[in-house]
Amino acid sequence: MTSTEPADTSATSAASAKRAACSQWTHSDRIKRESRHIFNKLHSIAADADFVRRVHYRYASLLVTANLRCGAWYTDPAITSAVSYFKSTDGHTHQWSFSLKRSNLHVSMPDALSKTIPVWCAVLNTASQRKYGVPTSESEAFGLHTPTWMIPPSEHDQIRARIDGFVTALLNSDLDVPRLDKPLQPIFVTPQNDMDMLPSSLANTTATEIVPIVLLSASRFISDSASLDSNTPGGAETGGNSFVYVQGAGDDHENWARGLTPDLFWQHSDALLACEKDLLEEAVDNLVKHHSTASGSRAHWFTPRAVGSEPSDGADAANRLAGTAQGDVEVGNTGIFIGARTAEHNFSPDERALYTRIIHFTSLAPPAVPSNLSFNLEALKISDSEPSSNVYPIHMSPNKKGLLAIRTAFPPAITCAYRTLIDPASAVGSRPKILVSCQDGKDLSGSLVVAILASCFTDTRQLITADESKREHELALTKDTTRRRLQWLVSASPRAAPSRAFLLRVNELLLSHKHKPAPT
């Protein structure tokens, strides 16, 4: 090759491209690792919580509600009055839904904020108008409102076309439809909003013609994960510790939280945020272990603590608890109460005096009894001479093992509850009262309450007192029966709705021919 010929640069270009690709992959891999680290997760959550706090202080007259599960990470329990459970999956494209299980009727952006809750507002407005004549449908706030910058007009119209069907389903259910004198109107707020552009009337909601439902998305939008480093907030927000900001840091807690819950985080937030990055994982592990050892159970997920907070299940304690200090909730006027107690809870004399019978799920080892007496209620009765004679223990675990035990443990418990309800001598005050409790007041106790309500009460909430009528009722049970009894439960205690797996087991138990009474 002579000096006048151009140099061959193909090898050099290929090597440069390879180095650039390798560098980009290394940077991307580092960013992914950083975005999963609990240090960056907690500091990002704290930064987002500051934004939530600023909005709250600006509109202090509005109640703050945490949308579970991940919304609990961003809302300081000191300013939070209640919780809700709107699922994003109810708002996914072509899967829009109004959940009769997660009705969220106790509260007045992910898809949960941009679509699920707007659907909820429109459905309640229309249902109230049809049932009570208010609010007026002429109001601009009455119909479906979705964020125009996220939801295209075609999708908005498709969702709106389904509202009437959702309203009909709600009105035909056993859920209590609230009377709304003013329409609910969603107002969408994100960190990208100019706060000065929000309606000034939010500061004084009593003077407005609407009930504003401010849907606050706490995390700021990051368009490109590769730019995370440039979005690192300054040390002023984190007590001097710099961090990589992670959008939606509270999501998928199973993959990063190491057993930490929002309750534990908020109780120890100062110490956790002050901890060095290299020491934080060990500190979290020690905190979770210490709490588990001290309490004998896992930490609660989230507990609102604002002055005037509703009970964590959103129920009206003053009207329905009749002196129950633990926050137990009665399902309608059935005499069936549901509550939360640890597996090792020792019921005080005052607690036992409130109830005719307490059915309590405990993980303690059961007393040894002959196997052929497992279904004999008389063998399971506790002598009246014992101090806790009205406590009926069920030895079940709140996991898959508990699911398997439903078939054997629930029938005698249902029988025990029924005999208590129909026995005139068992009334506390004017009528019998039964408390069903488990560790979280949800899966175990919720599924048993549904089973008791389905087995012992008619669709009009009347206790079945005649043996022949009860046998006929049990033979006629359907999935619609258990679905409606679940609606009774969530109307009284929204957080008591058991998981789908437990409800399926209840249906198997009540609807299986093996467990139905033989026709006479």
Which amino acid makes up residue 381?
K
If you ran DSSP here, which 8-state letter would residue 73 be given? Answer: H
pTM score: 0.72
CATH fold of 320-511, please?
A: Protein-Tyrosine Phosphatase; Chain A (3.90.190)
Instruction: Tell me if 420 sits within 8 A of 357, measured CB to CB.
Output: yes
Tokens in use for 234?
């300054």
How many Cβ atoms from other residues are within 10 Å of residue 508's Cβ?
13
The strand pair at 391-395 and 184-189 is best described as unpaired
Low-confidence ranges of the chain (pLDDT < 50): 1, 90-96, 104-108, 225-227, 229-239, 310-325, 369-388, 520
Which letter, b or e, does each residue of 333-350 get, where b requires 16 or more Cβ atoms within 10 Å of its Cβ? ebbbbbbbbbbebebeee
Every domain of the chain and the residues it spans = 76-216, 320-511
Strands (E), 68-204: 82-84, 184-189
Task: Please spell the DSSP secondary structure of 301-357, one letter per residue.
Answer: S----STTPPPTT---HHHHSTT-TT--EE-TTSSEEEEE--TT----HHHHHH-SE
pLDDT digits (tens, 9 = 90+) for 431-453: 899 999 998 899 999 999 999 99
Distances in whole angstroms, Cα of residue 266 to Cα of each of 58, 76, 122, 217: 22, 7, 34, 19
pLDDT digits (tens, 9 = 90+) for 149-205: 888 999 999 999 999 999 999 999 998 899 999 999 999 998 988 777 777 778 777
Residue located via tokens 């199973």: 254
